[in-house]
Structure 1
């Protein structure tokens, strides 16, 4: 067992304790209270004068798929040979021994959603993983957690260079619709074959990968910066009755009312950095605040390696500086991120029964002078300053 005592506990579940204790058994939180007696043999961490938060979550990044300080040899996030690659699993490209994983948990980031980039119309499957471990199979929270699709400039640019479709936004949308229709027909044939084996369709690996999307088990994770691309992604999801989350949502502040009406969640960023292409011309740290005030559930991302994943709290702090309330800034990298990913039963807050992903800070984490004193993932102390 592990007992953390005497710290200020910010649960992100609506109840905070000015000076309290958290008791952990194996990989779960089993008690949170002002005072807890430590059973014999319990490891004790005294957090006197410190702040205790749930581990932070980056709801959209590419951790482990673009390795640190290396070029082509470590770039495994974009299969730029086919615009339709739903069968690709991020797990098969992630290197958990990359140095950036250590930087993540040392920076208080205990879980991420990581997956393919935005070169293809359908890029492949995102996974939700913990940031500590040597074998990716043992780090999985959920896989697949979403299907990556991309709108806007990136697929156009990649395939224009290859002189093949999609070279326009029209083609990107058409290719996505076509693939969804093929997957629906494939699904229908498989269902018919339950009663008549002769109708069994020829196995199609790509279309098999789309079935969890059609069944509502996972959402489309839609890369879209510009307002029109955001609305196109929503349009297509509505046409087929699919779940969707809006990724980047750079111009979301221009259409916040529409996004709110549609009930879509937005994972905003990476806002830190330059406006490196045309569709980022309206990038602004005010976007999260405007979306929140319109009633949109938001999370904030780093899009690592665009912004190093350990700077996730800084991105939330800059959004707060631009009008996002402090509580919402914290939610955007904890419980909101977990809820948008569909993982709030395990991570995102400090509650009895949830995973023991706990971070002890010397100051409030949205203070840029703050640093992590201790990181606990699945009940194990993985970092101590």
Structure 2
């Protein structure tokens, strides 16, 4: 049993507690408050003058799949032999020994979404996992957590250079729609076989992955920077009645009313970025603020290793510079990120019954001089400085 006492506790589900107590037992949060009787057997951590928060959530990364040091051997991000690979699974590529996981803990990030890159129209299934552990199967929170897709420049560049479809944005959308229709047909054959008590169709791993999206078991998570690509994703999601999450959403501030009307969610970033390609020319620190103003659910990402994962809090603070209220920026990397990912029953806030993922900092998180001094994942100490 562990008791963190006397710190300023940001619960992220209610008021901040000036001299709060977080009581942890068996990997879960037992109590949070200011007037708690401490069991005699509890290990005490005095956080006087420090700040206590839930572990941070990075809602879009490639940690464990795109390793920084091993540029070839450790890069399993994109299967560029085929533009449609929905049956690929992030869990089969994650290396828990990737140094990026240590960087995550150093930055207070205890939960990540990681998955395929954006070379393919459909890249594969993403996973939500903790950042501490030695076996990926024991680190998983939710799998599959979404089907990664991509529109815009990347698929065109990867396949168009070889004169292979997609060469155009029209072909990108057509490949996605074609695959969704094929999955609908596969699904209908399974239903018909069950109804008629006949043999089902031969298993098709590609179609099984897409059917999970059609049945709204997981969202379609579409990489899209430019406004027209975002609208293409919305158009297709509406046609097939899919749950849609826009990844990056760089020009989301230009079409925020349309995003709100479509009921989509967004994961904004990387915020620390230059105009590395044409579709980033309208990047803005005000994107997150504009989405917030229109009531659009969003989280903030690093896209690690594009931006190092330990800079997630800095990324969120730059959204504050763009006008986003500080509390909302904190929520975008904690409780609101958890809600968007449908894992808020386990992480994202300091509440009774949730996983004891807790960080302690010496200064407020958005102070550029802050240090993450202690990190606990599932109640276990994984970092102390």
Q: TM-score scaled by structure 1?
A: 0.98
Between the aligned partners of 2:205 and 2:162, the Cα distance in structure 1 is 24
CA offsets 1:299-325 (integer angstroms, 9 cap, x no match): 111000000001000000011011110
What SS does the aligned partner of 1:323 have?
coil
Shift of 1:197: 4.2
CA offsets 1:107-132 (integer angstroms, 9 cap, x no match): 10000000000000000001000000
What SS does the aligned partner of 2:113 have?
strand
Tell me which moved more, 108-117 or 39-48: 39-48
* Contact 1:192–1:199 (Cα < 8 Å) also in 2: no
* Contact 2:314–2:368 (Cα < 8 Å) also in 1: yes
What SS does the aligned partner of 2:198 have?
helix
| 2:322 corresponds to 1:322 | yes
Between the aligned partners of 1:185 and 1:25, the Cα distance in structure 2 is 49
Between the aligned partners of 2:271 and 2:365, the Cα distance in structure 1 is 19
What SS does the aligned partner of 2:194 have?
coil
Structure 1: give runs of 5+ residues left out of the alignment: none
CA offsets 1:48-86 (integer angstroms, 9 cap, x no match): 111111110000111111112221111101000111111
Between the aligned partners of 1:194 and 1:75, the Cα distance in structure 2 is 42
* Contact 1:122–1:176 (Cα < 8 Å) also in 2: yes
Between the aligned partners of 1:354 and 1:117, the Cα distance in structure 2 is 31
| 2:241 corresponds to 1:241 | yes
Structural mapping, 1:201-220, within 5 Å: 201-220=201-220
Report the number of matched residues.
Answer: 385
Between the aligned partners of 1:24 and 1:173, the Cα distance in structure 2 is 49
Task: Kindly report structure 1 stretches of 4+ aligned residues shifted beyond 6 Å.
Answer: none
CA offsets 1:14-52 (integer angstroms, 9 cap, x no match): 222110111111111011121323323322211111111
Q: Residue 145 of structure 2 aligns with which residue?
A: 145
Q: Residue 157 of structure 2 aligns with which residue?
A: 157
| 2:52 corresponds to 1:44 | no
Between the aligned partners of 1:327 and 1:274, the Cα distance in structure 2 is 26
Tell me which moved more, 271-280 or 108-117: 271-280
Between the aligned partners of 1:199 and 1:42, the Cα distance in structure 2 is 59
What SS does the aligned partner of 1:261 have?
helix
Compute the RMSD of aligned alpha carbons.
1.0
Shift of 1:100: 1.3
* Contact 1:299–1:336 (Cα < 8 Å) also in 2: yes
Q: Residue 110 of structure 1 aligns with which residue?
A: 110
Structure 2: give runs of 5+ residues left out of the alignment: none
* Contact 2:78–2:123 (Cα < 8 Å) also in 1: yes
Q: Residue 186 of structure 2 aligns with which residue?
A: 186
What SS does the aligned partner of 1:128 have?
strand
Q: Residue 356 of structure 1 aligns with which residue?
A: 356
Between the aligned partners of 2:145 and 2:316, the Cα distance in structure 1 is 23
Q: Residue 276 of structure 2 aligns with which residue?
A: 276
Between the aligned partners of 1:195 and 1:173, the Cα distance in structure 2 is 33
Between the aligned partners of 2:380 and 2:317, the Cα distance in structure 1 is 28
Q: Residue 63 of structure 1 aligns with which residue?
A: 63
Between the aligned partners of 1:197 and 1:182, the Cα distance in structure 2 is 22
| 2:313 corresponds to 1:292 | no
